Each structure stands twice: as structure tokens, then as C-alpha cells.
């Protein structure tokens, strides 16, 4: 086997590999696009949903803050970083 025949064989193998990779990537792109087409999100329906209501939970927040303060006081932990 001479050098030119070896180079020709190597180039054939290289182009065959590149063809296989690009074919696989093309099929992958088609598959992803088809899945996104069939399973697309209906954005209009998502926008029509009612928004979450905000509740004024000042009593709950006060109870949690008081519990944290009492826990830190019982453990001797300062209530802020400056103490």
C-alpha cells in the first residue's frame, strides 16, 4: 500500500464519519422540532389563568418572628449581627 492510497483511504473514512455525524445531527434536529410542534404549550390559555392572590399574613409573620426571637434568646444567640 503506497502513501497516496493510504491517504485516500483515510480521507474516505473521515468523510464517511463526518457524513454519519451530520446525518445524525440532522435527524436529531428534525426530531426535536417535531416534538416541540406536537407538544407545544398553549400560551393563550396560560395567560388566561387567574393570578395568585396575595394574602396579608402579618399575624403569621409576627408569630414566626416571635418564635425565632424566643429560640435565639433561649440559646443565647444574638438577634442581629451587631450584638
pLDDT in tens, the chain (83 residues): 799 999 999 999 999 999 999 999 999 999 999 998 888 776 666 666 666 666 678 888 899 999 998 888 888 877 666 55
Q: What does the pLDDT read at residue 47? A: 66
Does the global pTM surpass 0.85? Answer: no
Q: What does the pLDDT read at residue 40? A: 79
Closest CA to 4 of 40, 61, 31, 12: 12
Q: Please give the sequence-ordered ranges of beta strands (E in DSSP) within 1-83, or none if there are none.
A: none
Q: What does the pLDDT read at residue 34? A: 94
Contact 79, 69 (CB under 8 A): yes
Amino acid at each position: 500500500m503506497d502513501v497516496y492510497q493510504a491517504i485516500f483511504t483515510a480521507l474516505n473514512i473521515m468523510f464517511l464519519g463526518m457524513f454519519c455525524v451530520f446525518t445524525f445531527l440532522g435527524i436529531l434536529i428534525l426530531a426535536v422540532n417535531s416534538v416541540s410542534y406536537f407538544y407545544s404549550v398553549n400560551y393563550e390559555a396560560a395567560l388566561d389563568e387567574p393570578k395568585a392572590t396575595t394574602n396579608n399574613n402579618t399575624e403569621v409573620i409576627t408569630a414566626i418572628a416571635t418564635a425565632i426571637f424566643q429560640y435565639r434568646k433561649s440559646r443565647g444567640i444574638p438577634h442581629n449581627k451587631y450584638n
